[in-house]
Structure 1
């Protein structure tokens, strides 16, 4: 089978499996929606007074990224279970191109990220988010969030290929908490101590948040968008290479 049909077939199987899994829906959609409501209700006015502008824009961008991160974590847990059960070994022995498995993960994560971001933005609209530039900037914002989700998924896939479920949860949980509270969507960069501000401004989530915030207004923040795209592309290439090598060494060696 050629690469493209193989990727599409495996991605479709992944999406169908995820759609039937209640924990994934809770982690990828329900929990982020609740978090969006809490952040906007409890912290929204405070962030606006601190100079963060309309807080719902930054909060919606932040929680959209949180949504795709959470979904990628649940998907990674499935990888560890499939590996331990032998399912990955059976998939690896199918007459498919070697890159089909990783390619299907990228496609499935991207489509899942699109869907979860759209749902989160609908919740944000109910909380007061408004879009100022028509469909094109909105599509750009959703696409950027989905691309960020693919980058996260490559990171957790690389981890889950060789480690157990508890280790994946521990490592990703630590990264998740740091990213959640130290970014420009949670609070303006000026609200952080001076020594911490460069870290906050340049960690991967902050430029993505600023780019999405501009897209919501119908504008384009060229510097933030370029930085966010560079972060996503770099993380996908580095961790995608690592994930592919890890999978090949763990599973492919037994082919």
Structure 2
């Protein structure tokens, strides 16, 4: 049959010579998952090919743990009566999760200024895939960093003394913590410039890093500061991870950690979603 005859038959008989392929809606759940995975893979490839990101998220945390062990392990262990590595390993995993979120936020700013977010927004993709794909990539990045830090910690004496299930729960805490912090940083990134973002997050990271129970137990701090140190989000997560590895209370610090994470997500999810959409639609 010639092309002319096919066209005439299509117009007259309603015959369609080409098969129709059913495609899911852009708002379908399957589309959201598929497009989120694509965005996640894209970000992971971008980070893997960037030496600065690799250094910040992998090499720097491992070297920091080694330096803390060399300088502080013996004095802290002698003063507290417990191996310091069981506090520094959890602390470094959390610090790495927060520091990596800043790198991701700066990448988000760059994509906004170059117009990449706007180009994605005009394509037939699920509107939420960009943000959820970014959070998925964050979770994978934190997981890889956590495993690397724990591997280095094993060389320095860190062990899972409470069994395999406790080990899995311990690994999951930094991942959840990192995702919650990424929501906070994403919301902040949509409202501030790059320099202000780095300065603000750097100040928060420094305060949380030096006033927590990862270095020394809470009783080593001044009495007027002990309650604040004990209940800040990093201390709750560190205490839970300490209990899941070395031993000690787990339920209370774990519940506090989950409460902090859900509280952060509940407070900053809407600003992050709204800011992400505004950045994609207008580039502002």
Band the TM-score falls in, shorter-chain normalisation: over 0.9
Task: Give the aligned CA root-mean-square deviation in angstroms.
Answer: 1.7
- What is the Cα deviation at residue 52 of structure 1? 5.9
Task: Report if aligned partners of 1:162, 1:250 keep a CA contact under 8 Å in 2.
Answer: no
Deviates more, 1:121-130 or 1:96-105: 96-105
- What is the Cα deviation at residue 217 of structure 1? 3.1
Q: Secondary structure at the match of 1:129?
A: coil
Q: Which has the larger radius of gyration?
A: 2
- What is the Cα deviation at residue 253 of structure 1? 5.0
Aligned runs of 1:121-140 on 2, under 5 Å? 121-140=150-169
CA distance in 2, matches of 1:170, 1:151: 20
2:209 is the alignment partner of 1:180? yes
CA distance in 1, matches of 2:248, 2:210: 26
- What is the Cα deviation at residue 250 of structure 1? 3.1
Match of 2:17 in 1: none
CA distance in 2, matches of 1:36, 1:130: 15
2:68 is the alignment partner of 1:68? no
Match of 1:116 in 2: 145
Deviating beyond 4 angstroms after TM superposition, the runs of 4 or more aligned structure 1 residues are none
CA gap 1:220/1:192 in 2 versus in 1, 3 angstroms: closer
Aligned runs of 1:4-15 on 2, under 5 Å? 4-15=33-44
CA distance in 1, matches of 2:231, 2:54: 30
CA distance in 2, matches of 1:241, 1:107: 18
2:108 is the alignment partner of 1:79? yes
2:249 is the alignment partner of 1:249? no
Match of 1:165 in 2: 194
Match of 1:239 in 2: 268
Q: Which runs of 5+ in 1 are unaligned?
A: none
Q: Which runs of 5+ in 2 are unaligned?
A: 1-25
Match of 1:24 in 2: 53
What TM-score does the superposition give when structure 1 sets the normalisation length? 0.94
Match of 2:23 in 1: none
CA distance in 2, matches of 1:16, 1:186: 35
Task: Report if aligned partners of 1:131, 1:218 keep a CA contact under 8 Å in 2.
Answer: no
Match of 2:235 in 1: 206
Match of 1:104 in 2: 133
Match of 1:224 in 2: 253
**1:173-211 residue CA offsets vs partner (Å, 9 max, x unmatched):** 100110110000022111111111111111110010011
CA distance in 2, matches of 1:215, 1:141: 6
**How many residue pairs end up in the alignment?**
255
Task: Report if aligned partners of 2:118, 2:279 keep a CA contact under 8 Å in 1.
Answer: no
Task: Report if aligned partners of 1:137, 1:219 keep a CA contact under 8 Å in 2.
Answer: no
Match of 2:7 in 1: none
What is the aligned counterpart of 2:175 among 146, 157, 170?
146
Task: Report if aligned partners of 2:239, 2:249 keep a CA contact under 8 Å in 1.
Answer: no
What TM-score does the superposition give when structure 2 sets the normalisation length? 0.85
